Amino acid sequence: MSERILEVAETLLMRQGIRSTTLDQVVERLGISKKTLYDYFPSKEALIEAVLDRFLSRIEQQINELHAAHAADPLLAIIATANFAYHTLSSFNPLLFQEMPRLAPTLQDKLFARIRTLIQKNLHANLHAGIQQGLFRKDLDLDFIPVWMFYVLTQVILNPDFAQAVGRSIPEVYAESALLFLYSFTTESGRQHLAEHQNLIRQTYGRSRPI
């Protein structure tokens, strides 16, 4: 029953945001009583936290699978992971991010901490492997870059106000930011390799011309 509750709650949260999603909606769609719901989740905040934890656990598993699938090519691993992360996070209703600081600041802190840790772990490993293969510059600060990328992702790429300010769609902001990031970190050998894969990033908004 807990999985069914989480599935329904996740669908509602992604579609409506926090304020508009109510426990009454959840129990109505499941055909259960509030008492049954409270047996599993004692409050709305506890339910939302469980939904986000389940969602992030799913992301972590899929990113680990991507990392393993492209272990021999750290540049392609970064591209595949970045595309997956973008498409996954962009499926969130922007209202959810806008409401969290006001309605669930503690949950936002936990969510962002998990995302930040995941980025640090995977990006650090792939950048280190890429340096060993001569794809990335040796002078990169591997501790600073993941933190910086997390900030760019959450405060710039997924921020509709930024996209509007620069007159671009969010997919275009993502793709061009990712390419700027990768081209600035690669060696000449890495840039040649990146040229072979850049359309995998730009396909998010249908643009294929080279930089």
In this prediction, residue 205 has a pLDDT band, given cuts at 50, 70 and 90, of low
Q: Which residue has the higher pLDDT, 145 or 198?
A: 145
Question: For residue 174, what pLDDT is reported?
Answer: 84
pLDDT, mean of residues 42-54: 93
CA gap 177, 61 in Å, rounded: 25
Question: For residue 135, what pLDDT is reported?
Answer: 96
Q: pTM for the full model?
A: 0.78
Domains by residue range for the chain, with CATH: 51-202 (1.10.357)
Virtual torsion, Cα 168, 155, 94, 51, nearest 10 deg:
140
Question: For residue 206, what pLDDT is reported?
Answer: 53
pLDDT, mean of residues 188-194: 93
pLDDT, mean of residues 52-74: 89
pLDDT at 122 > cutoff 60: yes
